[in-house]
Amino acid sequence: MRFTVRRDLGMHARPAGQFVTLASRFESEISVARADDDEWVSGRSVLSILSLAAAQGTSLRIRAEGVDAAEAVASLGHLVVSRE
């Protein structure tokens, strides 16, 4: 699914860390990519998330494979679109 980063500073270190912490709570394998790129990175790596250089307004795609995939994508997507 596609989600747009709404934070003023984008997915900088703190929200990237929050993303990884949340992703680690799920059993599913989680991957993230910029909507304009086909290079997927691990959702469990802060450096990988930071490498996306997702500024405010950037669209990200999140995918998950596993038993709790739908819940993982929904929860992580909510984090991406949150302004907090």
Task: Please name every residue paired with 63 in a beta bridge, in sequence order, or none if there are none.
Answer: 31
12 is catalytic: yes
- 4, 6, 10, 12: the catalytic one is 12
In angstroms, rounded to a whole number, what is the distance separating the alpha carbons of residues 8 and 25? 26
In angstroms, rounded to a whole number, what is the distance separating the alpha carbons of residues 81 and 43? 16
Residues serving a catalytic function are: 12
